[in-house]
A and B are shown apart, each in its own frame.
Chain A
Amino acid sequence: MTVQESAARTRPVPAVEAEGIAKNYGSVTALKPTSFAIPAGSYFVLLGPSGGGKTTTLRMIAGLIRPTGGRVRINGADVTDLPADRRDTSMVFQGAALFPHMTVEQNVAYGLTLRRLPRDRIRSEALEMLKLVGLAGFERRRPHELSGGQQQRVQLARALVLKTSVILLDEPLAALDAQLRRDMCFELKHIQESVGITFVHVTHNQEEAMTVADEIALIADGELVERGTPEHMYETPERRFTAGFIGENTLLDGIIHGHGQEARLVIAEGLEIPLPNAPVGEGRPASVSIKSEDFRLAPEAVDAVSAPVEVVDVFYLGFSTVMHVRLPDGRPATVRSTTGALPTRFRSGDRAVLSWRPEAVRLHLA
């Protein structure tokens, strides 16, 4: 056995590998050269703001648009020059992608009929998939006789039945209402786990991403900003942008002063955040972020670090209460507290003290 062979044996081939893929439309850059690998069998989410390049990335994996640079590999095979029908991928679209002139069963069976499988096998596989997505008994309906959520399930069945190694989903739940979206999220995750196929799911909805993802890649302005598990993206984001996009964080920008135990981020006159042992030198611009639930608002300081604030707005949401406050130099911060844990009912205009633990502060150098 050569060294390479043993390496290949120990490191499994990723289901999808993008190597510097990029897309330009004339002078418009939809995606800058981007590389990533998606482990086989994982649920991978491309998350990001509108226009960031998520759809572009997904469609390049699908073979619906050709990258202007870079290579795409599926299960280790270079497919950059192959069209969608010759790739081991299938896709679920945002909506209106079912064939309206076919019944539900014909829609699901379409890919199998192209493969010229025996009729009864096509039928039994299509029915089995419809059962898996909870639509047994709907096979004779037409797409327009289904609700939005049911249509998306049919699309999923149509993709699943092909048993491709990757399923690509572009905003599959965007057209559904919030409650249904939540339920469908659980279901998608459940189905993905039971079939073990790699899912690549595009969304701009954070909650949807957190619910389904094994791993999230944040894409914005044509760039992959950061990737990691939902927990990493929420608890310990590296990039300032990630902290701004995921969760409900207060971002503060400033300049590093001091070294070692004395290091601190100076944000404004009288507003400094201690950053003991910050791994950067004096004078460097940096940012910190603090999760809204890591702040505590009280009449006086209750944690190691604190700042006097003025309450601007209070939103009672039942289980939790969200408060917008103003730091001494006028900067806004967001505090979220379980309603029961609040020492008093704050009102806008109140003076209070905002406190947090030093460990709650996350440093972002980019």
Chain B
Amino acid sequence: MTHDYENPWGYRLKWLYMLTVVGVLMLPVFYTLYISFNYGGFGAAEYEFTWLWYRTLFENQEIRTTLGWTALIAVIVVACTIPLALLAAKFYQRTRFKVPFVFLMLMPLFVPADVTAAALLVYFKNLNTLTESVLGLAMFELSLWTAVIGQITWCLPYAFVVILVTMARFRPEQAEAARTCGANAWQAFWHVEFPQIRAGVFASTAFVAILSFNEYVRTNFLKGGFDTFPTYLVSYMLNTGMTPEVYAMAGLFTVVSMSVVIVVLATTMLRERS
């Protein structure tokens, strides 16, 4: 379609809209990034480029440990959430109760984070009392695993929706054709459906990784005796205020998240072009 007859104001408004979005959403982030490379930090008289603050970050053993925990949790959360989301999307296609099912799946998005987190905390406490009295072992002490569970409740709805959308484009005749060629249900899924929804699975993997990497509220309530990068950043910030290190930490966040998004976009576009 051409835009020959488009109202020129429509075109101008579109640009205005884009600039506003960039201005409001991106500028502060880029500004923080800019400050993080300044030797004098925020409010200094002149700008002097430096890697110093980032070097300090990576030389800090504590921060390296938090990054390790964050990465470990992200990997476990992705490894659990993606198969769960696939199962949920498959179930959605078969169930007759689609609306209640979707509602159930998306509910974690509508319950405030601190409510979910506090609720899970209480729930784990109760489970602890229960397993302790029955098995003599508190199985739900706050730990890596409780944090993982808290994050999965948060990430699953997103992964579910992304996978569901890609799955909707799959033609079920193809799975049936695979069955009539002698494939069992699992082979039909793995050989025929999965390769076609791989882009969606890949995108939701990246999405979940970012969500997990950035998650604060639930993790803070449910983690054991360790810090993840976000919980460390927040407590550090509360203790010391906006020091140059905080800018560098924020910058690190931005760079990691954005690079994941860019990689996903780039590979998706490359795939679509081929």
| Beta-carbon contact of B181 and A110 below 8 Å | yes
3 interchain residue pairs of minimum CB distance:
A111-B181, A91-B180, A84-B179
146-176 of chain A: CB within 8 A of chain B: 155, 158-159, 162, 168
Q: Tell me if B195 is interfacial: C-beta within 8 Å of chain A.
A: yes
CB distance from A81 to the nearest CB of B (A): 15
| Beta-carbon contact of B176 and A64 below 8 Å | yes
Q: Tell me if B257 is interfacial: C-beta within 8 Å of chain A.
A: no
| Beta-carbon contact of A162 and B181 below 8 Å | yes
Q: Tell me if B171 is interfacial: C-beta within 8 Å of chain A.
A: yes
1/0 per residue A267-284: CB within 8 Å of B?
Answer: 000000000000000000
13-37 of chain B: CB within 8 A of chain A: none
Size band of the B side of the interface? 10 to 19
A167's nearest neighbour on chain B, judged by CB, is B180
Q: Give Cα A168–Cα B173 distance, bound, in whole angstroms.
A: 14
Report if A64-B180 is in contact (Cβ < 8 Å); known contacts: A97-B171, A101-B196, A110-B191: yes
Not counting A90-B181, A96-B173, a sample of 16 additional A-B residue pairs whose C-beta atoms are within 8 angstroms of each other reads A64-B176, A85-B179, A89-B180, A94-B173, A97-B173, A97-B177, A98-B177, A99-B177, A110-B178, A110-B181, A111-B181, A114-B183, A114-B187, A115-B182, A162-B182, A168-B180
Q: Which of A84, A98, A158, A162 contacts B176 (CB under 8 A)? A: A84
Q: Tell me if A126 is interfacial: C-beta within 8 Å of chain B.
A: no
Question: Could you pull out 19 A-B pairs where Cβ atoms are within 8 angstroms?
Answer: A63-B179, A64-B176, A64-B180, A83-B179, A89-B180, A90-B181, A91-B176, A96-B173, A96-B174, A97-B171, A97-B173, A98-B177, A110-B178, A114-B181, A114-B183, A115-B182, A155-B177, A159-B180, A162-B182
Q: Give Cα A299–Cα B70 distance, bound, in whole angstroms.
A: 97
Q: Tell me if A62 is interfacial: C-beta within 8 Å of chain B.
A: yes
A residues with a Cβ closer than 8 A to B are 62-64, 83-85, 89-91, 93-94, 96-101, 110-111, 114-115, 155, 158-159, 162, 168
Q: Tell me if B138 is interfacial: C-beta within 8 Å of chain A.
A: no
In the complex, chain A residues whose CB is within 8 Å of the CB of B171:
96-97
CB distance from A111 to the nearest CB of B (A): 4
Report if A85-B183 is in contact (Cβ < 8 Å); known contacts: A96-B171, A97-B176, A99-B178: yes
In the complex, chain B residues whose CB is within 8 Å of the CB of A85:
179-184
| Beta-carbon contact of A93 and B176 below 8 Å | yes
Q: Give Cα A114–Cα B178 distance, bound, in whole angstroms.
A: 10
